[in-house]
Structure 1
């Protein structure tokens, strides 16, 4: 009889432990579900939210009166950005910019290394001193000169001398001096920081990332982009 009571107590104790662990497991699963749901909601909001963006004093391609504004966030040391600049931007220019449907802006998200920051600020100095047209020439040449070796991402290659020599390929000595002076005096710092602040505010997590009239582009093809631009134009 004593053994029976003892077994009954042990069974009750085991049952209590089982219930406790089941309750704990359910609670963990519930918390995980809530966390994943919140992450999904945040991602959905980032891709559907229309953000207010100040486009003033930013380099762009196209007609400033075009109804739609496309932004590319890029890094001059990013190999994917190089490919994007050489293969995708010409398509965007031909099908959307040259047709007057959109204008195309470039903004910096300099995240790879010191070269990223230095080249972006130097390019901003080019824009401030020599204007939009020379900026885009420098922009394209800088991507052309990006090293093919992926290990170079971590190397200090885009030095001030390298950037100065690159600019000399398209600008006069006097113009180069103006840009270098601007860069040394850090006059382009605020413009670069403005881009970086937007990259953080808009939730940019990699380059290249595009926005169409303030909404993040999450499509995969040129047709997806054209569709988004057409939709944005109708919403104006």
Structure 2
């Protein structure tokens, strides 16, 4: 996939099988990132990132841009969405310090790619707010037995049913038409291109203004965001 090594990324993701739901929130960020960054490029990237057409949380006026690279079938991304994103939103996004973008990095076979493209279709046809409703619902509905060996868990029927929980039924056909026409492919390929250029090898992986986050706590992320803001 787009200059990616699926084997390396799967190995990175597998480091999180010890995840325990219910860990104290203050430690969640560290557990998620400790393994990923052993295989992520450590040097700061000079890659210019085009944020246009990307779903985000926060105020457009926020000067700092945080990117999460994620995969809808990745259990660690589900934990990140449920337990870490709310903390980032409360401390950094709602305060106007940063915007949080979601970039797709699907690598767990066909299910990941299909759900990424469907989510992009939702974003294009129904807008940013509905995208995030669908995004959150899709992670909440991730099956407990989701893994790389089991495919077609995220078939079109599943994705449509998930969308119906986030949007009116009348909007579903708009998304399906866009999805069936393969118009979402370009957006996913754009994300994959950035993942390759930035050296992403596991999900979730975070960047702040194009530089990899290598810390392990929310305080580390806040410090990096504050430093980036001061440099504007």
TM range, normalised to the smaller chain?
A: 0.7 to 0.9
Tell me which residue corresponds to 1:12. Answer: none
One of 128, 136, 140 as aligned partner of 1:132: 128
> Is structure 2 residue 70 aligned with structure 1 residue 80?
no
1:66 aligns with 2:92: no
Cα distance, 1:149 vs structure 2: 1.9
Residue 166 of structure 2 aligns to a residue whose secondary structure is: coil
Q: Is structure 2 residue 218 aligned with structure 1 residue 228?
A: no
Paired with 1:234 and 1:89, the residues of 2 have a C-alpha distance of 23
1:46, distance to aligned residue in structure 2 (A): 4.2
Residue 188 of structure 2 aligns to a residue in which SS? helix
Match of 2:151 in 1: 155
Q: 1:212 aligned to 2:204?
A: no
Specify every segment of 5 or more residues in structure 2 that has no aligned partner in the other structure, as ranges: 1-38
Give the Å deviation of 1:113.
Answer: 1.3
Structure 1 CA distance for aligned equivalents of residues 40 and 55 of structure 2: 29
Give deviations 1:187-212, integer Å, cap 9, x for gaps. Answer: 11101110011111110000000000
Cα distance change, pair 61–153 in 1 and its aligned pair in 2 (3 A): farther
Query: Is 2:56–2:101's contact at 8 Å kept on the other side of the alignment?
Result: yes
Equivalent position SS for 1:57: coil
How far the C-alpha of 1:173 sits from its partner, in A, is 2.3
- Greater relative CO (CA pairs within 8 A, separation 6+): 2
- Say whether the 8 Å CA contact 1:74–1:108 is kept in structure 2: yes
Query: For 1:138-177, what aligned pairs fall within 5 Å after superposition?
Result: 138-151=134-147, 154-177=150-173
Does residue 108 (structure 1) correspond to residue 118 (structure 2)? The answer is no
Q: Is the 8 A contact 2:137 2:166 kept in 1?
A: no
Describe the shift of the 1:221–1:175 C-alpha distance in structure 2 as closer, same or farther (beyond 3 A). same
Which of the residues 80, 87, 92 maps onto 2:88?
92
How big is the shift at 1:166?
1.0
Shift of 1:143: 0.2
Structure whose CA Rg is larger:
1
Partner of 1:48, secondary structure, is: coil
Give the stretch that moved more between structures: 220-229 or 168-177.
168-177
* Alpha-carbon distance between aligned partners in 2 of 1:153 and 1:147, rounded to the nearest angstrom: 13
Instruction: Mark the CA change 1:174 to 1:76 in structure 2 (over 3 Å): closer, same or farther.
Output: same
The one-character-per-residue Cα deviations of 1:19-74 (angstroms, maximum 9, x if unpaired) are xxxxxxxxxxxxxxxxxxxxxxxx89743233210000000000011010000000
Q: Distance in 1 between matches of 2:225 and 2:150?
A: 36
Residues 44 and 89 of structure 1, relative CA distance in 2, 3 Å threshold:
closer
Instruction: Compute the RMSD of aligned alpha carbons.
Output: 1.5
1:117 is aligned to 2:146: no
Give the count of matched residue pairs: 194
What is residue 179 of structure 2 aligned with on the other side?
183
